[in-house]
Amino acid sequence: MKDIVIAGIAGSGKGTQARAIREYLWSQVQYFEPGSVYRALASNDNIAGNYTKAYTNKWLLVPDGFTQSLIWLVFSCLEPNNTLLVDGFPRMYSQKKMFDTAMSNAQRDFLVFELVISEQEAMTRLANRMLCPICWTTYSSLLHGEISTCPDDGATLQIRDDDRSQEAIQERFKLFYQDTKPGLDEYATEGKLIQIDGTQSIEAITQEIIQHIS
């Protein structure tokens, strides 16, 4: 089974789809989502947390050297018989090169699935999502109804800092097309990119992904 990379603009459903795939594949999958790792680091008052906060508080990407170390850590933990599920990475062309090299060295094959939605749809979704500050799970009133606490740990859900203003969201859209899209276009020329209609049901998208990797 091929490894899975899920891509798309903010609000396209990457995290939701990653959660659905994890539930579908269960013990066969190992999950990597750099954003949650950085948010967890930034929640701590130590050298790694303070370093991370210096970038994430300004909605900037953590430098490549730090990311390279994180990739090394991920691949040192990866079991050869498990499927690697990557959520929202690589985000920059330099990160694509790091990831491609790591995958090549590990002799692993993968497909990249871009969830395609309009910016208008993405804005609607982002306006209705909140984050658990303990387990970092994202919830949406569009999917889960009127929800204010995490059903797993009871924590009060919060609006993500990078969802608080339209200016911040528009900047993330801009960075996606500027930094992420060139790498996706290259994956397309390599035959590794599959675009999926991100407005379908969660189940329909999951089944489409599973059919491709199987």
pLDDT at 121: 94
User: What is the chain's mean pLDDT, rounded?
Assistant: 90
Phi, psi of 22 (to 5 degrees): -60, -40
- Over residues 88-124, the pLDDT tens digits come to 899 999 999 999 999 999 999 999 999 999 999 999 8
Cβ neighbours around 202 below 10 Å, total = 14
Phi, psi of 114 (to 5 degrees): -95, 120
pTM of the model: 0.86
**Contacts by 103-107 with C-beta closer than 8 Å and gap 24+?**
103/3, 105/75, 106/75, 106/78
Pairwise CA distance, residues 158 & 44, whole Å: 18
- Over residues 202-214, the pLDDT tens digits come to 999 999 999 999 8
Average pLDDT over residues 44-72: 86
- Considering only CA atoms, which of 154, 212, 199, 204 is closest in space to residue 13? 199
- Considering only CA atoms, which of 85, 98, 108, 69 is closest in space to residue 30? 85
- Over residues 130-174, the pLDDT tens digits come to 888 888 788 888 777 788 899 888 889 888 777 777 888 888 899
Cβ neighbours around 167 below 10 Å, total = 7
Q: Which residues contact 176 (CB under 8 A, 6 or more apart)?
A: 9, 10, 91
Does the pLDDT of residue 1 top 90, yes or no? Answer: no
Greatest mean pLDDT among 18-27, 72-81, 203-212 lies in: 203-212
Pairwise CA distance, residues 156 & 148, whole Å: 6
Does the pLDDT of residue 87 top 80, yes or no? Answer: yes
User: Packing angle between helix 34-42 and helix 47-56, nearest 10 degrees?
Assistant: 120
pLDDT at 56: 78
